[in-house]
Amino acid sequence: MGEPERNTMKPSKVGRGLVASLAALASAGMLALGAGGAYAANTANIDPSKTGSLTIHKYEKPATPTNLPNDGTALTPAQTAALKPMAGVTFTVQKVNNIDLTTNAGWTAAAALTPAQAAAQAASPGSTTTTDATGTASLGNLPLGLYLVTETGYPAGVTPAAPFLVTLPMTDPTGANSWKYDVNVYPKNAVTTATKTVSDTSAIKLGDNIQWTITSDIPNVNPIDGYRIVDKLDPKLTYANSSVALSNGATLTLNTDYTITFDATTNTLTVDFTASGRAILAANPTAKVRVTVNTAVNTVGEVTNTALIYPNAASFAIAPGQPGGPLVTPPVSTTKWGSIVLHKKDSQSAAALAGATFSVYPTQADAVAGTNPITVGGASSWTTDATGNLVISGLRYSNYANGAAVAPGQPGYQSYWLVETKAPAGYTLLAQPVETTVTSNDPSTVTVTIDNVRQNAGFQLPLTGGAGTWALTAGGVLVLAGAGLFMVTGRRKRNEAK
C-alpha cells in the first residue's frame, strides 16, 4: 500500500479570517478594573493547575484623582505616600459560577456581565477579608475565575466603593504576553467627617438664642444616592428655626434641593437632600454642608448635643453606632446654665435677713445706671426668704462659652452684677453693685454672701420727744432755774447792804 494521501490544500480565506479573529479576541485589551469589568486573555496559555491571590489595598478617596495605574500590579510606597489607609473594612469575595477563563468563550461571557448580573450567579457566601492598619487585606489559593468583590463592612460615615469584578488571572501589563496570577486592587472609600459647634456668647438668660452649626463633608462620589442630616435636640432646648448652605456659596433652594422637617414630639430636626440637591453636592465635592439650628435653652443644666450624618442611601436603614451607619458628630458642643444663690445676713450678728430685694445686670455699667436688668421667667427682681436666701435661676455659666472653658478677660466670660433695690427693715442699702459669677446649677449651693449693716451704720440718732431729749431739756430747765434764783438772791443781798 502506498503512503496516505496528504492534504496539501491551503487554508481558505474564511478559515484564515476565523483564526485571525480568535487571535484578536485572545489578545484583546482588558476591561478597566475600576469600571467593574473583566480582562481578556493574552495569546499565552493559562496554566489551569495554578491558583490565584487577591490583595486589596484600601485608602480614603483623595480630593483629586491620583492618576495612578490600576492594572493589577502593586503600587510602590512612594506612589501611595499621600494616601490615607483605612483599617477595619471588610470585603466579601465571591466566585462567579459558569465562567471558565481557560476558554475564549469564558472571557467573552465574563466581559458581558455587570457586577449586578454577576451577583445573581455568584457563589454564596463567598470568602471575607478585613483590612489591617495598613489598609491591606488578602485572600490566597483562589481557584482561577471571575470574582465579584463587595464591600460589606465599613466604618460609620463611610460611603463604600461600588462592587466590582476582577479576573484571576489577569494579563500581565508588563509586556502583555503572560499571565499575572497575583492581583492587586485599590478601591477607594469616600469618607465623611462632621462637627457640631455651639455659639452662646450673646446669650445670658433662659430664652436667649443659642445657635448650633453642623458642618459635614460631601462624599467624593458621583452619583450620591442619599444624603441626610438628623439633629435630635436635647429636651432642654426649644427649637426656633434652621437653614442650610454650602461653604462655597453654591445655591441650594429649600423644598427643591432639600427639605427641612421638625418633629416637635421627638424634638428632632431632619434635613433631606433631593435628587437635584444631591447632584449639586456631587458637583461640589470639596465644599462643606452647613446646617444652622437656632434654639433657646429652657432649663438650667448642661446641654450636650450631637448630630447624625447619613452620607448614602444604605446608611439610612442602619442604626447609629453600627458599621455602615450614620456618622455621629463628637459630643463636644456644650452650653452650661445655672443659678446665682445669694445669702443675705447681718454684718455683725450674721443673722439671716429676709426681705432684701435684688436685681441682676449683665454689665457693671448697666448696674450703675439701672438699665437693662436681666429678666428670667418674667421676673426682674428677687427677694430673700426667711433663710436669707434667694435664687436667680437660668443664667449662662460665667466661665464657659461656645462649648469651652473661658477665664476672666477672655471672650465670652460673663460676670453678673447684683444691685440691692430694697433693704431689709432697719438696714442700709448697698452703696454699689456686687459682682458675682455663675459656675453651678445646684440651687442649694450658696454662690455669693452679702452683708447688710444697720441703718446709720448702727449709730443712734437724737429723736424729738424721745426719752433722751426730754432728760436733756429737763436738766436745762433746772440749770436755768438755779441761775435765776442765784441772780435774785444776789440782788437782795446788795439792796440790804445799802
Distances in Å between the Cα of 127 and the Cα atoms of 21, 135, 172 are 37, 18, 25
For the chain, give the percent of residues with pLDDT over 70.
82
Confidence (pLDDT) at 407:
96
| pLDDT > 90: percent of the chain | 68
Q: With a cut of 80, say whether residue 248 has pLDDT above it.
A: yes
Q: How far apart are CA 73 and CA 78, in angstroms?
A: 14
pTM over 0.75: no
pLDDT tens figures, 457-490: 545 556 555 554 444 444 444 444 454 544 545 5
Q: Name the band, by pLDDT with cuts 50, 70 and 90, for residue 66.
A: confident
- Please indicate whether residue 368 or residue 173 has the higher confidence score (pLDDT): 368
* Structure-block grid coordinates of residue 207: 430664652
In which band, very low, low, confident or very high, does the pLDDT at 250 lie, cut at 50, 70 and 90? very high
223 prior amide bond cis, ω within 30: yes
Residue 495 reports pLDDT greater than 80: no
pLDDT band at 192 (very low <50, low <70, confident <90, very high): confident
- Residue range 170-190, pLDDT digits in tens: 998 887 788 999 999 998 888
Q: Write the DSSP assignment of 171-227 as a string of letters.
A: E-TTTSSSEE-EEEE--EEEE--EEEEEE-TT--BTTSEEEEEEEEEPPS-SS----
Asked if domains 20-190 and 336-458 share a fold, the reply is yes
Give the fold, CATH level 3, of 194-331: Immunoglobulin-like (2.60.40)
Q: Average pLDDT in the 207-221 region? A: 94
Q: In DSSP terms, which residues pair with 94 in a beta bridge?
A: 148
CA angle 434–437–438, rounded 5-degree value: 140
Is the pLDDT assigned to residue 244 strictly greater than 50? yes
What are the tens digits of pLDDT across the range 96-149?
999 999 999 999 999 999 999 999 999 999 999 999 999 999 999 999 999 999
Q: Residues 384-398: pLDDT tens digits?
A: 999 999 999 999 999
**Closest to 167 measured CA to CA, from 186, 187, 185, 151:** 185
pLDDT range class, residue 45, cuts 50, 70, 90 = confident
Which comes out higher in pLDDT, residue 209 or 304?
209
Mean pLDDT computed over every residue of the chain: 85
Q: How far is CA 229 from the centre of its chain?
A: 11
Length of the chain equals 498
Of 33 and 98, the one with more pLDDT: 98
C-alpha cell recorded at residue 68: 495612578
Residues 6+ apart with CB under 8 A from 467: none
| Residues in Cβ contact with 426 at an 8 Å cutoff, skipping those fewer than 6 apart | 454, 455
Domain 336-458 has CATH 1.10.3720.10: no
Domain at 20-190, CATH from 3.40.50.300, 2.60.40.10, 2.60.40.420, 3.50.30.50: 2.60.40.10
pLDDT at 157: 86
291-345 tens-digit pLDDT = 999 999 999 999 988 999 999 999 999 999 888 899 999 876 689 999 999 999 9
Q: How much is the pLDDT for 308? A: 96
Q: pLDDT of 408-447, one tens digit each?
A: 999 999 999 999 999 999 999 999 999 999 999 998 889 9
pLDDT, position 14: 30
> How high is the pLDDT of residue 333?
67
How do the domains of the chain map onto residue ranges?
20-190, 194-331, 336-458
Q: 128, 91 in Cβ contact below 8 A?
A: yes
